[in-house]
A and B are shown apart, each in its own frame.
Chain A
Amino acid sequence: MLLNREESRDRWRIRPDGKDKVTGALSYLTDRSFPGMLHGRVLRSGYPHATILSIDISKAKELSGVHAVLTHEDVPGLNAFGIADPNQPVFCDKLVRYEGDALAAVAAETPTIAEEALGLIEVEYEVLPVIDTPEKALGPDSVPLHPEGNILHETDYRRGDVAEGFKGCVVIVEETYETPRQMHTYLETEGGVFVPEEDGRLTVYAPTQHGYKDRMQLSRILAMPEETIRIISSPIGGSFGGKDELNVQPYGALLSLSSKQPVKIHYSRWESVIAGLKRHPMKVTMKTGADESGKILAHQVTILSDTGAYATLGGAVLNFATEHAIGPYAMAHVEVKGKAVYTNNGVSGEFRGFGGNQVIFALEGQMERLGQKLQIDPWELRKRNLRKRDDLGPLGQRMVPTDGPTQVWEGIQASPIWKEKDQTGENMEPWIKHGVGVAMTMHGSGLGYGIPDPAGGKMRLNEQGKIEVAFGHEEFGQGLVGTLEMLLQDHFQCDKGDMEIIIGDTDRVPSSGSSTASRTTNMVWQALNNMKEPFLKALFKKASLLTGIDAVKFQTGPGGIWLRGESGDFPERPVITYQELAQQGLEDLEFSTEFHYPVTPDPIMGAHYLYTSTAVVAKVEVNLLTGMVKILGLDHSVAAGPVINPMGYLGQIEGGGIMALGFTTMEDAVMVNGHYATKNMDSYLIPTIFDVPETQYVDAIEQLPEGDPFGPRGVGEVGTVAVAPAIVSAIYDATGKWVTKLPVSPEELQSSVEELPMMWKGW
């Protein structure tokens, strides 16, 4: 279905949190204040690489209005954090590995005093040479940044024998592709409020994608039992992967416990840029060969990923990139080798698309080049290599059968832009060039084999007589609450007022795993399916006891339990309301479910089981006067199972498309010698309304292979993954120039054409 108002009809629902967000009425966690609240600040090194000789906080402590000044000596538990491998110090003690490294934190009565106190902390450094590229980090004379050296993680996947495969090829293309350090650029920078409670517990009001994980990490740092920490984590002003890892939490928590007062920390944009995570810049080299029919025989890939100073999820991102460098294509001989390398650059971590975006840009570029060399339409070439429904996954793992790649391959051809593909544009001016390009891919959801990926939820009738569901997932703008409302109404035909949705509070929700990896929609769908039957059974049993009516005659509806009317019409009122049921006791009306995200039975680290597919067509205008690229159109065909919430789905693909457009044409957190050169949003650019196409047509293909039990897949990431190669191919169509480094450099495009007077052919 084309996702729009007309096609969606009554399922086109305005999101419940929309108005408050757009008008600014919504109170975010970082908007909260408490009596006696102090303001926290973190002292950052400013040096990308240095040895710490001494830290003197005595003057800062004496400043009036300062309530706490903390360093590594004040961490009661583990002085480190990191989702996968906790190797990032809360406070550095000996070595500084990037300019955002923290040395001390201050809590004071006003932000101004806190800032002044930071200025009074004296640190002596011995500055060390900066390792600012992975190549340098791997060089023979490079010093190790961590005990294990400068390699965080390596991957090595082989199938067949590439050397043998290349022998049979009539064409081989080899190219190196580079991708930028993209910033998540959430509207709400990292922040939170930390409140020590009278009973000795700590309440944390701070955005995260995984409340329980934050609780675990904080308990490790604070040396406090997990149960004594409460994480309240929604609503969130954007995350895109960037708030999955701890950020302000260790500092806020330590300062509030030390000062015994509530503490608020909210990063300025400047601090957020320096301290926050970014997308891994990658250098991807691919050598791909095919026979004369276009059949790919061998594909050899190396991936070099700049993971920055610390681990966080750099290893998992590399695993994902390794798998997606193979994509939806069946290839006999494959070799993919990857390295995630420590440097003195800013920390790279989780980011929407999770390493897929980088390698898919490369892989799709290879497809285009192969097609060209063989003089086979590159789209046709892809078709000849697409995997079949029951084929094994990219890493040879068993996966859920999917027709997605074929579906989107066909689906995208319905886009109005597609029809312009082979037209030679009638341009107004000789320096304006138009072009159209296409790309596709397959994207895994869930965390993949070998990583615990638990899910769960709770359902009950609560004291107020509402059907209450609780999930440990978060609302960071993706529209979880709206989707949950629609699912509940589908299941129970109840009114909006009959339900209560609880998320983002570890004291009230079960552990549901992280809200990442496009897994949330699928997990809540499955959880509700698991709990619905037993819940209804119990509800009807109780209603039957109270009314004497046979339970088989019941159904749920607005306000309560109704008789399954013979004519199918609803009577005047329910047989018994939810409130009446609740008043008669709630015992036996609570259910929960725990399960694991579906995972491949084959023990291949990181391999995915569930996949979605996407194809993207882009139309661009290149102005050769400046080399600037304008995206005139961007349409998507997405195969991700049934659509629950059409507007939410559209929002994810459109928004993802724009984010990826930025990745392709302008976004880059430039680092010069280990320092961010783009310190604010006047130089780190994201697209404005003038940089994006007016409409993105999104065609959602809902059909799944018969008997598929897994239902709707998540679409949080898939809208971002194939945009760059589509745009770059459109630029090639317009200019004849292949871009291999993102973001696209206007200078490069401009210099690729002859000077204007030379182009001049007279009137």
Chain B
Amino acid sequence: MTRIQQVWFPKTLEEAYKRYLSCEENGSYVSGGTWLRTIWEADHKTIPPHLISLENITEMSAITIEEEKGDEVLVIGSLVTLNQCLKNTLIQKYFPSLITACKQIAAPSIRNQGTLGGNIRTTFGDTLPVFLVLRGQLTWFNGTSIERESVQNWLANPVPSDGRILVNIILPIKKHSGEGNKYFSFYKKVGRREIFIPSLVTVAGSAIKGRDGTLEEVVLAAGGGVMVPKRLSNVEELLQGTNALTKEQLSLIYETCLMEYEPQADVFATAFYKKKVAANLIFSEWFQMMKGENDQIEGGTLYATES
């Protein structure tokens, strides 16, 4: 049995990174520690002798609007907790689907501790499909400098313990100009119970519906369970530029979705079930979007509040 020997509280990125290197295989970064504790408890991993808490690195806790090449971006520090995210007016205004996703993670006490960075870093946190759809970028501290890459690139090949520290998440704030254009976005999570439940399937998406009903800029991503989420590019492509769809076209899109989304089976659900859930959810969102009734974000009420 391993017992905790040391918890470190570095104050800077450099200090944290050095500590990590010096611990060799025996250290782990900790933000909220809420994901780590589940795998320790389940005996998937023993508690390493060196825990490197990131909580004193102040530069990773802010949420700010910045300008990049004339466009606005929202910069979210990786230490921002899920609950801070929920309360933030900028996120509420610009990225409501991230709010929807955060609301459905765990429960209030865990959202007070758990961070966005930790959620992302697990590679299958429930927020990830949203970041894929929002075309989020990640900045990492690699020991000497800050690197930047898209969420999508990183998820294509996430190196588990490369020692890099996730610093910020950068989300482009889109201007959806154009007369009569409507911007839709959604996030759906399905678990075995209404709330406080690991996901079986998560789906996020966004699109712009032109005045004549034509869909543009369709982006879809799906994840769930311990699957690394990914974009559904083939489905996106089939929807791009479409207006009304025939039954045959719909069937093709549905089948493509079943093919492209590749979840794993578990004790509680087959992979096929998960595929069908994802396809159904995308279909139902498309249905609502075409009906044009719902340009609001879905699923807003179903979460436990603290009060």
Using a CB–CB distance below 8 Å, which chain A residues touch chain B?
112, 115-116, 119, 270, 429, 431, 624-628, 630, 666, 670, 672, 677-680, 682-683, 685, 687-691, 746-747, 750-751, 755-758, 760, 763
Contact = CB atoms under 8 A, between A and B. Distances in A.
Contacts of A625: 277, 280-281, 283-284
A116 B1 contact: yes
A627 B198 CA distance: 17
Contact of B270 (A115, A672, A747): A747
B273 interface: yes
Contacts of B267: 670, 672, 677-678, 683
B226 to A, nearest CB: 13
Contact of A756 (B195, B273, B283): B283
B277 A666 contact: no
Which of A666, A691, A755 has the most B CB atoms < 10 Å from its CB?
Answer: A755
Interface stretch (B125-133, B186-194, B235-243): B186-194
A463 B63 CA distance: 68
B194 A690 contact: yes
Q: Sort chain B's interface into a size bin.
A: 35 or more
B273 A747 contact: yes
Which of B42, B192, B247 has the most A CB atoms < 10 Å from its CB?
Answer: B192
Contacts of B269: 747
27 contacts: A115-B1, A116-B1, A429-B284, A431-B284, A624-B280, A625-B281, A625-B283, A626-B281, A679-B42, A682-B38, A685-B192, A685-B193, A687-B193, A688-B193, A688-B196, A689-B304, A690-B195, A690-B304, A691-B194, A751-B276, A755-B251, A756-B284, A757-B247, A757-B250, A757-B283, A758-B247, A760-B247
Contact of B280 (A116, A626, A685, A687): A626
B302 to A, nearest CB: 6
Contacts of A688: 193-196, 304
B107 to A, nearest CB: 9
Contacts of B284: 429, 431, 625, 756
Interface of B: 1, 3, 38, 41-42, 190, 192-198, 247, 250-251, 253-254, 267-270, 273, 276-277, 279-281, 283-284, 287, 290-291, 302, 304
Nearest to A118: B1
Contact of B193 (A666, A679, A763): A666
Nearest to B248: A757
Which of A429, A677, A680, A747 has the most B CB atoms < 10 Å from its CB?
Answer: A747
A677 B269 CA distance: 13
B277 A750 contact: yes
Nearest to A662: B193
B291 A763 contact: yes
Contacts of B247: 757-758, 760
A631 to B, nearest CB: 11
Nearest to B196: A688
Nearest to B303: A690
A688 B197 CA distance: 10
Given A429-B284, A755-B254, A750 B273 contact: yes
A523 B291 CA distance: 63
A119 B1 CA distance: 8
Which of A624, A678, A746 has the most B CB atoms < 10 Å from its CB?
Answer: A746
A376 to B, nearest CB: 36
A670 B281 CA distance: 28
B280 A690 contact: no
Interchain residue pairs A-B with the least CB separation, the first 10: A625-B280, A690-B194, A757-B250, A747-B273, A757-B251, A690-B195, A677-B267, A756-B283, A757-B254, A685-B193
B194 A680 contact: no
A672 B266 CA distance: 12
B76 to A, nearest CB: 27
Contacts of A689: 304
A59 to B, nearest CB: 14
Contacts of A751: 273, 276
Contacts of A685: 192-193, 197
Contacts of A763: 290-291
Contacts of A678: 267
Contacts of A119: 1
Given A677-B267, A689-B304, A682 B198 contact: yes
A112 B279 CA distance: 49
Nearest to B249: A757
A685 B195 CA distance: 11
A689 B195 CA distance: 9
Contacts of A679: 42
Contacts of A687: 193
B42 A666 contact: no
Contact of A691 (B193, B253, B270): B193
A287 B306 CA distance: 51
Nearest to A743: B192
A628 B284 CA distance: 15
Contact of A112 (B3, B192, B281): B3
B280 A756 contact: yes
A626 B277 CA distance: 5
A271 to B, nearest CB: 13
Contact of A680 (B1, B42, B251, B302): B42
B260 to A, nearest CB: 16
A748 to B, nearest CB: 9
Nearest to A678: B267
Contacts of B197: 685
Nearest to B190: A626
A687 B196 CA distance: 10
Contacts of B254: 755-757
Nearest to A624: B280
A71 to B, nearest CB: 22
A679 B44 CA distance: 13
Contact of B192 (A630, A666, A690, A750): A666
A431 B280 contact: yes
A677 B3 CA distance: 27
A747 B277 CA distance: 9
A757 to B, nearest CB: 4
A465 to B, nearest CB: 46
Nearest to A268: B41
A300 B239 CA distance: 56
A687 B254 CA distance: 32
Contact of B194 (A270, A429, A630, A683): A630
B126 to A, nearest CB: 14
B294 to A, nearest CB: 11
Nearest to A630: B194
A268 to B, nearest CB: 9
Contacts of A626: 190, 277, 280-281
Nearest to A431: B284
B256 to A, nearest CB: 11
A666 B291 CA distance: 34
Nearest to B293: A428
Contacts of B38: 682
A430 to B, nearest CB: 8
Nearest to B291: A763
Nearest to A115: B1
A688 B194 CA distance: 8
Contacts of B270: 747
Nearest to A681: B196
Contacts of A672: 267
B240 to A, nearest CB: 18
Contacts of B196: 688
Nearest to B251: A757
Contacts of B302: 690
Nearest to A689: B304
Contacts of A666: 192-193
A614 to B, nearest CB: 26
A746 B269 CA distance: 9
A543 to B, nearest CB: 55
Contacts of B287: 429
